[in-house]
Chains A and B, each alone.
Chain A
Amino acid sequence: MRSSPRRPVLGALAVVSMLGLVAACGSGGASSEIQLWGLQDDLLNESTEQIVASYNENAETPVNYSYYVNDPYKERLQVALGSPQGPDVWLNWGGGNLSQFVEAGQVTDLTPMLEQEPELRDAFLPSVMEVGTVDGSVYALPMVGTQPVLLYFNQEVFDEAGVEPPQTYDDLLELVDVFTERDITPIVLPGQQAWTEMFWLAYLTERIGGPDVFQAVIDGEEGAWRDPAMIEAMERCQELVEAGAFGTSYASVTYDGGAATELLTSGEAAMFLMGTWEYGSQLASAPEFVESSLGWTTFPMVEDGEGDPQALVGNPSNYFSITANSEHVDASFEFLAETLTSDAYLDSLLELGQVPPVVGIEDRLAASPGADHATWVYDLVDNASSYTQVWDQAMTPAQAEVLLTNIQRLFLNEITPDEFAAAMEQAS
C-alpha cells in the first residue's frame, strides 16, 4: 500500500526535471548582439559604457556590456563560457587563467587576424602582450592599464622620521626598527587576503633568484619549489614577520573595504606594497594625500641577489578574449580593434590614473591627471627586464588556491619553507 503511490511521483519528477533541462538549453540561442563581459569597477565601467554606446551608434552588430563583481565573475565565466548564455568577448587575466580556457578549446586564436592588422598587434608593449600569448599564439588583447606592484609610502611619515625610502632589503629591515620605535606600523599588510602576502614572496623570489625561478614552477619543473632562491624568499618573509615589519594584527586586516589604504594615508603605517590600482583608488578617495605625501618606488633589491632591480612583478594588464564558438567572432574582433587603441578609450583610462600598455603615448601620459605617477610607471614597464605575472593568476585555479592557503600559513609561522614546498609539490 505504502509504496504504490510513489511510482507516479518519481515519474512526474523525472519528467519535470527533464523539462527543466530542455528549457535551460532552449532559452539561449542566437543573439544579434555581441555579449561583452567585464568586471565591476565603478570608475572604469562608466567610461566603458560610454565608449560602447558610441560604438553602437554606427555598428552593424551592437555590443551589450555587462559586468560582475570579481569572485562571482570567475565562477560565472567558468560555467557559462561556451554555453549559449556565455559571452562573446570577456575579460580575463591572461597567464594560467587564460591557458586553461585555451586548453579547453574555448578561445579564438587571434594570431591570423592580427597578421591582417599588424598595427594593432604592435600597438601594445611586448612584455604585456606576452601574458596574453599561449604557446606562441595570441589569445587576448590588453584592455586596461598595466598594473605593476610598487612599494608605496607615506612621504610625510618618512620626513618626520628623517629617513629615505629603502634601496635594499637591509635598508628595509632598518626602517622596520625605526618605525616600530616611533609606534608606526612599518608596512601595511592586509593579511586576511592572502594575495597581498603573495606579492612579498613573489618579489623576494624575483630579487633573489631572477624570473627563471618562478618560470620553472609554471613549467612544472621538478623541485622548482625547492629552489634555494625560493626557499630563501620564504625565509625572508618569515624574517620580516618576526621583525614586526607588518605589526601584529596584520592577519585581521583586509584590503577590500579600504582599511589598509586608510592606514597608509592616515600615517599609522609607513609603507604599502600594492598594485598601481592603489594609486587610482587613492586619487579618487584622497586626492590631497596623493598630491602632498604619496610616494612610490620599486621593490628593494636584495644584496647578492641575482634578480635585476628593475624587474617587475604585477598584473601586466587585464585582457579581452573572444569565445571560440561565438557567432560574432569577426564582429567582436572588429569591436576590439576599433576600441582598444582608440583615442577615446585611452583617454578614459588616462583620466583614471591608469597607464595603458600602448607604445608611443608618452606625450599623452604627461598631460594626464596623475602625470608624474603615470609617466614613471610607463617608463618602468617599458624598461623592465622582465615582468612576472602575479603568481595566483599565472597558475591554474586549483594550484592558486593551495598557494594562497599556504602563503597565509607561512606568514603566520604555522609552516616552514620546507613544508610550504612540500604542500605545493603535492598540489601540482
Chain B
Amino acid sequence: MIGSTLERRPARRADSSAPRRPGRAGRTDRPGILWAAPALLFFGVFALFPIVLVAWLSLTEWSGLGDPVFVGLDNWLALPQDPEAPGAVWSTVRLTVLCWAVQTPLALLLGVWAAGQQRNRAVLSALFFLPLLLSTAAIALLGHSMFDPNFGLAEVVGPLVGVPDGNFLGNSDLALYMVIGVLTWQFVPFHALIYQAAARQIPRMLYEAAAIDGAGRFRRFLSITLPQLRHTIVASSVLILVGSLTYFETVLLLTGGGPGTASRVLPLHMYIQGFRAFEMGDASVLAVLLVAVGTLLSVLVVRVTGYSRMTSEREGL
C-alpha cells in the first residue's frame, strides 16, 4: 500500500511544477533498493538467516557435538509427547495476558498524567522512569534478593500480606505472579513514556471545547484522551504481547522456571532444552513456534484493531 502511494507521487509532481534536471527523470529519485541495502543486509544476516537456520535445525538431531543429523519431522512429531510443553504454553499464555492486562492501564494512566502540567510532575516522572535505565539482568537479580525469604524484604513484608514465611519465589501458586510483578515494574515506565509522548500530541482545543460543553475530567479522559490514543494503545499492546513471548532472562534469574515448572515459560523451556539438555533439535522446534506465534499475534492485533488501515487520528481538525 505504501509502495503504491509512493509510485504515484513523482507523476503528480511532474505535472504540477519544478522542471527536472535532464537524465534524472521518472522514479530514479525515489529511494531505491540501494538505500534499503544496509538495513536489509543487517536484517538478513541477523534475523532471516538465523530463522532459516533454526528451521533447518528443527529437522535435525544435534547435541552441539559433531554434525546435526537430519531426522525429518521427528522433533515436530515428538512435541506432543514433551511432558513439560503444555505447562510451558499455559504459563506463557497467563504471563502474556496478565502482563498486558496489568501494564496497559498502569502505563496509560501514568503516561497521561505525566503529559500534564502539574507541579512536581517533572521530578516525579523522572523517578517513575528510573527502571528504564536499569538492565534486565540487574532488575531480576534485585528482585531475587528482595524476595529472599531469609535476608530480603520478603521476610518483613511477607507476614503483612499473608505469606508468613516469605516464601514467594518458592510457592508454585505465587512464583509466576512475582515474575509478572518484576516485569511490570521494569516495563511500565517504557510504555508510560510512549503514552506521555502521544498524549502531548492531542490538540488542546479538543479539551477546551469539551470543557465549554461542560465535560468533566473523567468524561474528557474517556471521550477525548482514550480515542485519541487508540493507535498508541495498539502499538504498546503489540510490544507487550510479542515481548511477553521473549521474556526469558527475568524468569531464569528470578525463579529459574521453578519451583518445579511453575513459572517455566516457553522461551525458558526452549533454553533449557537447548543449553541444559543439549537437545538442539527440540529447542529449535520451540524457537520456530515462538517466531510463528509472535508474528501471528502482531498481525492479528494490527488487523483486528484497524491499525493497519493507517487512518488519521486527527480527522476533522
Interface residues of A (CB under 8 A from B): 2, 5, 8-9, 12-13, 16-17, 20, 71, 74-75, 78-79, 81-82, 100-101, 104-106, 191-194, 247-254, 257, 259, 262-263, 268, 397-398, 400-402, 405, 408-409, 412, 414, 423, 426
User: Are A408 and B63 touching (Cβ within 8 A)?
Assistant: no
User: Are B167 and A398 touching (Cβ within 8 A)?
Assistant: no
B105 interfacial by beta-carbon distance below 8 Å? no
Q: Smallest Cβ distance from B146 to chain A, in angstroms?
A: 11
Q: Which residues of A contact B41 (CB under 8 A)?
A: 12-13, 16
Q: Smallest Cβ distance from A39 to chain B, in angstroms?
A: 16
Q: Smallest Cβ distance from A78 to chain B, in angstroms?
A: 4
User: Are A249 and B65 touching (Cβ within 8 A)?
Assistant: no
Given A9-B33, A401-B272, does the pair A263, B278 have CB atoms closer than 8 Å? no
User: Are B149 and A397 touching (Cβ within 8 A)?
Assistant: no
User: Are B261 and A405 touching (Cβ within 8 A)?
Assistant: yes
Which of A2, A252, A409, A423 lies at the interface centre, i.e. has the most chain B CB atoms within 10 A of its CB?
A: A252
Q: Which residues of B contact A405 (CB under 8 A)?
A: 84, 260-261
The chain B residue with its CB closest to the CB of A401 is B277
Given A2-B3, A259-B151, does the pair A251, B170 have CB atoms closer than 8 Å? yes
Option from B144, B145, B275 in Cβ contact (under 8 Å) with A75: B275
B40 interfacial by beta-carbon distance below 8 Å? yes
Stretch in contact with the other chain, from B43-51, B289-297, B302-310: B43-51
- Complex A-B, nearest 5 residue pairs according to Cβ-Cβ distance, in ascending order: A251-B170, A252-B170, A249-B167, A249-B149, A78-B64
User: Are B167 and A248 touching (Cβ within 8 A)?
Assistant: yes
The chain B residue with its CB closest to the CB of A406 is B260
B248 interfacial by beta-carbon distance below 8 Å? no
Please classify how large the interface on chain B is, using the bins under 10, 10 to 19, 20 to 34, 35 or more.
35 or more
B168 interfacial by beta-carbon distance below 8 Å? yes
Q: What is the CA–CA distance of A400 and B278 in the complex, to the nearest angstrom? A: 11
B259 interfacial by beta-carbon distance below 8 Å? yes
Q: What is the CA–CA distance of A397 and B279 in the complex, to the nearest angstrom? A: 9
The chain B residue with its CB closest to the CB of A269 is B150
Q: Smallest Cβ distance from B243 to chain A, in angstroms?
A: 25
Given A249-B149, A251-B169, A251-B258, does the pair A17, B276 have CB atoms closer than 8 Å? no
Q: What is the CA–CA distance of A291 and B44 in the complex, to the nearest angstrom? A: 61
Q: Smallest Cβ distance from A391 to chain B, in angstroms?
A: 15
Q: 23 interchain pairs (CB within 8 A)?
A: A9-B40, A12-B37, A13-B40, A13-B41, A13-B48, A16-B41, A16-B45, A20-B49, A78-B63, A104-B63, A191-B259, A247-B165, A248-B165, A249-B150, A249-B170, A251-B170, A251-B258, A252-B154, A252-B168, A398-B277, A401-B277, A412-B260, A426-B83
Per-position binary interface string of chain B over residues 250-266, scored 1 when its CB falls under 8 Å from any chain A CB and 0 otherwise: 00000110111100000
Option from B45, B63, B165 in Cβ contact (under 8 Å) with A13: B45
Q: Smallest Cβ distance from A321 to chain B, in angstroms?
A: 14
User: Are A398 and B49 touching (Cβ within 8 A)?
Assistant: no
User: Are A82 and B66 touching (Cβ within 8 A)?
Assistant: yes
The chain A residue with its CB closest to the CB of B274 is A75
Q: What is the CA–CA distance of A71 and B275 in the complex, to the nearest angstrom? A: 9
Option from A17, A71, A252 in Cβ contact (under 8 Å) with B167: A252
User: Are B166 and A252 touching (Cβ within 8 A)?
Assistant: yes
Given A9-B40, A252-B148, does the pair A398, B45 have CB atoms closer than 8 Å? no
Which of B45, B272, B277, B279 lies at the interface centre, i.e. has the most chain A CB atoms within 10 A of its CB?
A: B277
B172 interfacial by beta-carbon distance below 8 Å? yes
